[in-house]
Structures are given as C-alpha cells and as structure tokens.
Homo-oligomer: A and B are copies of this chain.
Amino acid sequence: MLRLVCISYEDNTVKNMNKDNLPVLAVDIGGTKIIAALINSDGNIEARVRTPTGAAGGKDASLSNLFLAIDNVLNTGGHKLDEIHSISIAAAGAIDMAKGVVTASPNLPGWFDVPLLALVRERYQVDSYLLNDAKAAALAEHDFGAGKGIKNMIFLTISTGIGGGIIIDDRLYFGKSGVAGELGHMTVEASGPRCLCGNTGCMEIMASGRAIALNARSRVEKGAKSIMLELAGGNIENITAETVSEAAQKTDAVALEVVNRAAFYLGVGMANIANIFNPGMIVAGGGVSKMGELLLSPVRLVVRERAFRLAADDMLIVEAKFGDDAGVIGAASYAYSLTVRSPLS
C-alpha cells in the first residue's frame, strides 16, 4: 500500500524530527518497584535500573526514588540530558491526560492529584510524557510484542487487580479525559460482591489475583482438603494466587475449582470485549496470566460459548510477550509516537 506522510505544521507535537535517533528515558513506577531504562525507537533496552518504590514511605519518598532512578539510569547509560529524546513515565493509577496529573493511585499511598508531568519537566527541563502503566504495556505488546501487526487489540493485565489498554487502528485509545480502558471495572455480575472501586461485580473483584486468593482461602477455611494449606506453610493467610497456581498444576481439585471460577468470569469479560470491540486479539499480561493454558484454555471455552460466533472466531487470546519491562518499553514507544506520526497507515 502506498504510504504518504502528512504533517500539520501547526501541530505542536511535531518537532525536532532527528531526535528520534536518541533513546527515550522511560520509567515505570508501580506499587513495589521502579524500573528506569534507556530505550531506542526499535524498543531495545540500552540500559536499565531497578529499585524499590518505597511506597510505604509516602508520596515524597516514592517521588524521590523516582528521580533517583532517572539520575541512575542516565549514569548507567553514560548519557547526558541533552542526549536523550525525552523522559516518558508509565505510572500505576488514574491519570488526567489533559493536565498530566496522577489523580489517584491505589498502589501509591498518598498520591492524590500529583502533577507528575510538571514536576519532571521542571526538574529535568526536557520533553516529558506521562501515561498509565497498563496503557503503556498495551502499547509495548502492540508495537513490539504479542500483538504486533494487530490493528485492533485489547490488553488485559491480570494481577492483584485487572487493568487494561485499548488499541484502535494501531493507536492507543484514551477517550475524552484519558481514562478509557478500565476493563477490570466492567461489571459482569451486578449482584456480585463489592469491588475496591465502589462498584459491584466488576471483572476485577470476580477474577483478579486478589479474588483468586480470597476464594481459595475461603474454601480452605471452610474445611476443603487441599495441598494449598501445606504450600502456604500451614497459614491460610499466606495462600496467594501463586499458591493456587502451583496447587492447580499439581491437579489439586480445590485449586482447579478456584482457577476455573476465575476463568469463567475472565471469559465473561473477554466475551464482552469480543462483542463490543470485535478485536483481532486479546493479550493477557500480569502475574495471574503466567498460569498460561491452565487459565487461558478454560477462558477460551467460555468466550466461544458466550460471544457472537464471528467475533469469537476472529479473536485470538494469547499471553503477553513482555513481563516487567512492558511499562518502560510502552512508555518509550508512546514518546516516539507523539513526535513522529504518520496519519496514514
């Protein structure tokens, strides 16, 4: 197909095109760790540092760890600030894209209405970008990972909670204020239990890592015979989604029931995604997705049972390619996409 590049010269996102030879300094700040990396436009990581977020220390502590990580990766990579393309940050939390503000983050205590973009720009005086971490991971999977070449792709990160990212026409979809893609907070069982978001019966409260752990603990507490108690050192409170996964792989009946219940609700959610988006692919990332086929195989059955045939047939459900690096790779890709963009694809 013929490709033309059309540039609107009044569009202030188009500038300094030759900067694209420089690496993006990408940072992913989550509840437990900060990863900072220098990443080039092919998605390759030139340097990387990893440090605890220190979230329990509050906003100032985690912010100062964030800045430290930025300084460290510059040193590690041997780069000065004028030798990078930009700083691009993927952050856990709800982000007001118009203002560059982290409005709230369940995993970063004390982070309310933090003007992170302004803080970074002020401190480093370079082009800076900010987006939600699940959206960044979606972009990483689309641009360089499992969803490469898939025009319309949905990313789900299934870990303690469930986050999402939507790719429409090969681009990240943000919605009006930048908070689109909260697929974990799609109600699938309105009469179900209350979610941390205040809603009832969200896919997250029915099928996340937290839901899996709680369901397993409750069954063991009620006396179900399972190797999970042993795997958790005899302490019910130590049963996690990983415990469930380990026991299920050993064909523990109780653990398999717990996995299949989560798979049912993930399947309901993914069937909704099929009927709503008719996408080419759902990419599943996050800790829980590491269960692999044990989880995804029953999920696919539920989707086939529930979604429209044409939509289900056309939709692959696959594991994510990237693990912990998805956030930084996606943040870098996002920064490059904002400086050069061909409106034709």
When the two chains form their complex, are residues B8 and A310 in contact, meaning their CB atoms are under 8 A apart? no
Question: Knowing A173-B168, A344-B343 touch, does A185 contact B275 (C-beta < 8 A)?
Answer: yes
Judging by beta carbons under 8 Å apart, are B6 and A308 in contact? no
Residues in chain A within 8 A of chain B (CB atoms): 1-4, 6-11, 94, 96, 103, 151-152, 166, 168-169, 173-183, 185-191, 197-201, 264-265, 268, 271-272, 275-280, 305-308, 310-311, 314-315, 343-344
Q: Which of B10, B177, B183 touches A2 (beta carbons < 8 Å)?
A: B10
Known: A4-B6, A10-B1. A280 touches B168 (CB 8 A): no
- Give Cα A4 to B264, complex, Å: 48
For A10, what are the chain B residues with a Cβ–Cβ distance below 8 Å?
Answer: 1-2
Report the nearest B residue to A173, measured CB to CB.
B168
Which residues does chain B contribute within 8 Å of A191, judged by CB atoms? 189, 191
| A8 pairs with B180, CB closer than 8 A | no
Of B8, B179, B315, the residue contacting A308 (CB under 8 A) is B179
Residue numbers in B under 8 Å from A3 (CB-CB): 8
B311→A175 contact, CB < 8 A: yes
CB–CB B310/A94 < 8 A = yes
Known contacts A176-B278, A179-B310, A276-B180: A199-B2 contact under CB 8 Å? no
Q: Secondary structure of the A side of the interface? A: loop
Are the C-beta atoms of B308 and A276 separated by less than 8 Å? no
Question: Which of these, B7, B175, B181, B187, contacts A306 with CB under 8 Å?
Answer: B187
Contact in complex: B278, A175 (CB < 8 Å): yes
A314 vs chain B, min Cβ distance (A) = 5
- Cβ of A110 to closest chain B Cβ, rounded Å: 19
Across the interface, name the chain B residue whose C-beta is closest to A96.
B310
* 13 residue pairs bridging A and B, Cβ less than 8 Å apart: A4-B8, A94-B310, A168-B173, A175-B277, A176-B279, A176-B314, A177-B310, A187-B188, A187-B268, A187-B271, A188-B188, A190-B265, A343-B343
Give Cα A307–Cα B264 distance, bound, in whole angstroms: 23
CA A339 to CA B169, docked complex, whole Å: 20
- B276–A181 contact, CB under 8 A? yes
Check A199 against B306 for contact (C-beta < 8 Å): yes
8 Å CB contact of A276 from B96, B182, B188, B268: B182
Complex Cα–Cα for A29 and B166 (A): 33
Given A190-B268, A199-B271, A279-B176, CB of A185 within 8 Å of CB of B4: no
Closest to A281 in B: B176
| A278 and B310 alpha carbons, distance in the complex (Å) | 26
